[in-house]
């Protein structure tokens, strides 16, 4: 029996840190919730989780199932949440202790969380193309949202899009984050880093794949919103449950519409997916192993 039935399982990805991917994932999740969807958000970064900082829920404790093989998600503002940043508190006796776990546990935690029936489950994927993003790409994803910024340094998003497409993951949208800001004085939108970056990314993807014309990936520009740390920039403030600022809300609405259209009619994802019984973690055992490794490293230090 599946623990979860997810109508739209979507990864939010980037190939470079610092582009505000985690905040885009968070704001999109709460925007989808405001549209009436049942939404979950999974923070897949084992070594640098963002969600407990973005939504400070205090000293919460994850609840394990009686058999120790599944967990209950947390909830805030109607959105179901899970992150190793919260989960690790079950075994780490020192809040600042480094969590040493095996990479596959990121997707295993996703799959063994009791999400129930969801319309959207967003996965905030770690940057890059390493083990965890590769494992996420092999889940029954309906697609991915690629996040970049209008900067030459973020051209790595081309590598990320090529990586996803090579693994058969449809790239449903390209989000250009922190693209503009609205001046309080004149009320006009300004583009401090110029325009056209997203079109250039798609042209580079086409050149790398030797295709013409560029792939038909819809693009969206999200504005800088100061009280969110940049809509867009990484912020420790939880999203407003009554809606974001007008420019950001409009952009998120267009993005949500595109995701609805692109995934309409797709069969739901059932979780766990292709996870044999012997691969399902017994979480108390995993916690004991991680704590043992932590103690051994501390003794050596």
Write the pLDDT tens digit of every residue in 97-134. Answer: 555 566 677 889 999 999 999 999 999 999 888 889 99
The pLDDT value recorded for residue 228 is 58
The C-alpha angle 164, 168, 172, rounded to 5 degrees, equals 65
In the predicted model, what is the mean pLDDT of residues 93-97?
Answer: 52
The pLDDT value recorded for residue 95 is 52
Instruction: Say if pTM beats, i.e. exceeds, 0.95.
Output: no
User: Do 229 and 181 form a contact (C-beta atoms < 8 A)?
Assistant: no
pLDDT band at residue 243 under the 50/70/90 scheme:
low
The pLDDT value recorded for residue 235 is 43
pLDDT band at residue 72 under the 50/70/90 scheme:
very high
The residue among 259 and 60 whose pLDDT is bigger is 259
């Amino acid at each position: 029996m599946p623990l979860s039935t997810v109508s739209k399982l979507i990864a939010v990805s980037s190939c470079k840190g610092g582009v505000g991917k985690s905040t885009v994932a968070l704001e999109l999740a709460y925007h989808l919730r405001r549209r009436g969807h049942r939404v979950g958000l999974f923070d897949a970064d084992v070594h640098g989780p963002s969600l407990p900082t973005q939504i400070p829920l205090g000293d919460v404790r994850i609840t394990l199932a009686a058999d120790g093989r599944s967990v209950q998600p947390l909830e805030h503002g109607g959105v179901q949440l899970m992150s190793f940043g919260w989960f690790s508190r079950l075994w780490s006796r020192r809040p600042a202790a480094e969590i040493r776990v095996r990479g596959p546990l990121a997707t295993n935690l996703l799959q063994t969380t009791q999400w129930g029936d969801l319309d959207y489950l967003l996965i905030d994927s770690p940057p890059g193309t390493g083990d965890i993003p590769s494992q996420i790409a092999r889940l029954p994803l309906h697609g991915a949202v690629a996040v970049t910024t209008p900067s030459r340094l973020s051209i790595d998003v081309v590598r990320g899009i090529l990586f996803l497409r090579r693994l058969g993951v449809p790239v449903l949208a390209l989000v250009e984050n922190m693209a503009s800001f609205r001046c309080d004085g004149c009320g006009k939108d300004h583009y401090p880093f110029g325009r056209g970056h997203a079109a250039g990314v798609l042209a580079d993807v086409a050149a790398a794949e030797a295709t013409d014309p560029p792939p038909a990936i819809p693009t969206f520009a999200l504005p800088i919103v100061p009280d969110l740390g940049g809509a867009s920039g990484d912020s420790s403030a939880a999203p407003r449950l009554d809606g974001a600022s007008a420019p950001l809300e409009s952009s998120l609405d267009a993005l949500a519409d595109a995701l609805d259209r692109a995934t309409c009619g797709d069969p739901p994802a059932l979780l766990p997916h292709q996870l044999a019984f012997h691969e399902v973690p017994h979480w108390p055992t995993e916690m004991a192993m991680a704590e043992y490794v932590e103690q051994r490293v501390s003794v050596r230090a």
